[in-house]
Amino acid sequence: MSLKVSNVSKTFYSDREAKQVLYDVDFEVEPHEFICILGHSGCGKSTLLNLVSGFLQPDQGAITVNNSKITGPSKQRGVVFQEHALFPWYTVIENIAFGPSLQGVGKQKSLTIAEEYLKLVGLEDSRDYYPRQLSGGMQQRVGIARALANKPDILLMDEPFGALDILTRETMRKELLKIWMQLKTMVLFITHSVEEAVYLADRILVMKDGKVLTDERVMMERPREKSDEFKEVVSKLEDLLINEEVTL
């Protein structure tokens, strides 16, 4: 499974103006890679993710998966948003089973699949709870399980931990990494946090004003604790952001 973003540009139009948000964005992602996209608010990160998901189409250029052009949403690409977007009238297990059932999988098989991913995120004891009965971190775990239940080749994550407190966010990073190391799904993960990007990613794409400034490979072995090597990589990336005048 390979992903290629080729010279992609995107402009949004309103009654008053045309605003270009992406300029000739070009990169490739290899199978099983974990990519973090780092940049300031309004730099085009979420627009890029929406293009890869198929929710939007580029004005110029193309995005392909295994050389096939993306023309719309697909179960091949799962999406996890900053807000969990769970159905409040469904229980945890019903939320996770929703995707497979929508694809025509029978009810019992859908529930079996849901049980598998519920166990993967460690929420077996919460299967019959409703979203309102869960903490923010638990809601996001359910969101991740729901996205994974469709068995996507690519997982797209738009600042999924941005609304969580620091301790919960660190816990969720570890949980996500544990899941990824087991499944090895290709991941594109948007973040404002340098430490989060260094902790998670194989590569970090730094964006500014709709362009990819640099593509940094993180060579550290996993798991990555806050060692001197970790701090050195974070410091190097922070220096790059300062030099490029990128404010997160």
Residue with tokens 């997982």: 155
Q: Is the pLDDT of residue 205 over 90?
A: yes
Pairing of strands 34-39, 186-191: parallel
The pLDDT value recorded for residue 38 is 94
Q: Is the pLDDT of residue 82 over 80?
A: no
Q: In this predicted model, what pLDDT tens digit does every residue of 112-126 receive, in sequence order?
A: 999 999 988 888 999
Contact 217, 202 (CB under 8 A): yes
Arithmetic mean of pLDDT, 20-30: 96
Q: In this predicted model, what pLDDT tens digit does every residue of 185-196 receive, in sequence order?
A: 999 999 999 999
CATH 3.40.50.300 fits 3-76+153-243, yes or no: yes
Residue 191: partners with Cβ closer than 8 Å, 6 or more residues away: 36, 37, 38, 159, 162, 197, 200
Domain ranges of the chain: 3-76+153-243, 88-151
The pLDDT value recorded for residue 96 is 93
